Each structure stands twice: as structure tokens, then as C-alpha cells.
Amino acid sequence: MKVAVFGKRRQSREDAPLIFDLINSLSEHNVFITAERLFFEAMTRLTGDALPVDDVFEGDDFTADFAISIGGDGTFLRTARWVGAKEIPIIGINTGHLGFLAEESIKSAPQLIESLIEGKYFIESRSLLEVRAVEGDIRSSLSGWAYALNEVAILRQDTASMITVNTLLDNMPVASYQGDGLIISTPTGSTAYNLSVGGPIVQPTAPCWVLSPIAPHSLTMRPLVVSDSHIIETSVDSRAETYRLTLDGRTLILPINVKLRVRRADFVVKVFHSNGHNFIDTLSAKLLWGISKR
């Protein structure tokens, strides 16, 4: 078995020994371990010792049976970007804060490794959004990665008045959202930015998108759930000459005349879960879902 290890570069000194224990435990099970170079170098600076791995790689120049993401959800999103269309299952280990994607605690790493080695796990497929300009290509401005696992957000400039996001669904007009912008969320991202603007929580494997307006200037505008088989097209009206496009937090400033086309990507992100995992338990643990204080 070969495992590729990614991680955030600012780990705490308290977590560093646990990360070394994780790597050593994998080695004891004859797992070949390759580490992303920036993470490897950051851990070396933090501890003064090199991670005991078999190889080091840069960017997306790797192959593996599994990828391990050590950090928070932001680290998981970056790992998904490097994995790309390889569809290598990602194991999310949390050394950050909330951790919906990086859901396994670093303190439970021994049990996690046991599940991995003994095959006591299942793989869940998560859909991504692909974004293109209706005319032209925006990939070069997004480092070649014009995809989002959580959400695509179309936003006004910080100093501008509200914008209007005209939205089509398979060429059928849906709405002209006036306000601060519009979020197009995946089911995975329903507990992220979408949730903070009042959008619904969606089961991660549901075949749908959520359209959630941001600070809408109308009481009739509400989040809308649509099938992920549709193609969404947007155009923006604003007093400003530009608007912001964000994909999982990566921001691009676009001219006001650039129209976007959003569709389901041709590949998925595969997420590792130990047997017994379920989405409702995650909601209870992370958001206190269904827990009564009475």
C-alpha cells in the first residue's frame, strides 16, 4: 500500500508528536509513505527532525492508493485540489477547528490506521462544481483548477453597491438575485458558506446543488435546491466594472461582462470513512444537531 501525506504547514507543537506517531505506525504496517514537500519541510522546521517517510514529492506529481490530509477543512480542500481527477480516496485527519471534511481526530489515528489496514472502511463519492466562462477560459487565472468541492460564490466588490446576479438553469431564467451575491453550493458545501447565509443542510451524496442568495434585497428570495444534472449560467449587473468569483475561498476578480457556466465535474472526490460513520452523527458532533439543552 502507498499513502501520500499532505498537511497544513502550521501545526501545533502538541500535535507534532502525534503526527510522527501516525507516520511511524503506517511504516510499521509496511505502508510506503510519500509526503508533500512543503509539509515535510514545515514539520522539519517545527521539530528539528525530518518526518520518517520513504519519499517526498511536489504538487500533484505523485501516485498513491490513499491520500492523508492532516489539518482542517481548508487543508482537505487543498488536498482534493492536488489529487484532482486521480480520484484517490482522501483520509481527513483533523488538527484544526470544526472539521466536517477532516473529521477524524489526530488522537484517534491508531484506530483509523487499524480500519485502513484491516479494510474496515467505505468510500463516499462527492461531486464537484466546474466553472467556465461562457466565452473564454478562466482556468489560467485559477492556476488550472477551476473546480470547487464546497461552493462557487459570485460576490460584489468590497467597495461597490449591491449587484444583480442573473441566473439561468438550462437556459431557463430562474431569478435575478439582487444583494451581495449568490452562492452555488455542493451538498458537501451545504454546511460551509451556504449554511452561514441560511441555506439548507444537504446529505453529502445527494445529487443536487443549492442556490443561496447573500443578503438578498427582497423578502421573496430564498435558497433553491436543484438537480445537479442542470447547467447553471450567470451574468452580473453592477455599477462597478468588476465582481469577485470565489471557488472554495480562492478569489478571482472578473470584468462585469464575463458570464459564467457552472456544471457538474466529470470526476469526483472520494472520501474515506471508517465503518460505522454516518452523516447525522457528524452533524451532532460538529453542530450539536438534535441535542436538547432542556
Alpha helices (H) along 86-148: 109-118
List strands edge to edge, sheet with 147-148.
Answer: 147-148, 129-133, 260-264, 232-237, 163-169, 172-179
Q: Which of the following is catalytic: 73, 170, 180, 237? A: 73
Other residues' Cβ atoms within 10 Å of the Cβ of residue 125: 13
Place of cell 461597490: 160
At residue 147, the 3 state secondary structure works out as strand
Nearest to 15 by CA among 34, 42, 54, 33: 42
C-alpha cell at 99: 472539521
Residue of 241, 262, 239 lying closest to 163 (CA atoms)? 239
Range 83-100 burial, b when 16+ CB lie within 10 A, else e:
beeeebbbbbbbbbeebb
Question: Is 73 in the active site?
Answer: yes
Q: 149 near 126, Cβ under 8 Å? A: yes
- For residue 79, give the nearest of 87, 69, 88 by alpha carbon: 69
Instruction: Please give the sequence-ordered ranges of beta strands (E in DSSP) within the chain, or none if there are none.
Output: 2-7, 32-36, 55-57, 66-71, 90-94, 104-105, 121-126, 129-133, 147-148, 151-155, 163-169, 172-179, 181-185, 208-214, 224-227, 232-237, 242-247, 250-255, 260-264, 269-274
Report the interhelical angle of 16-28 vs 109-118 (nearest 10°).
20
Phi, psi for 292 (deg, rounded to 5): -85, 135
List the catalytic residues: 73
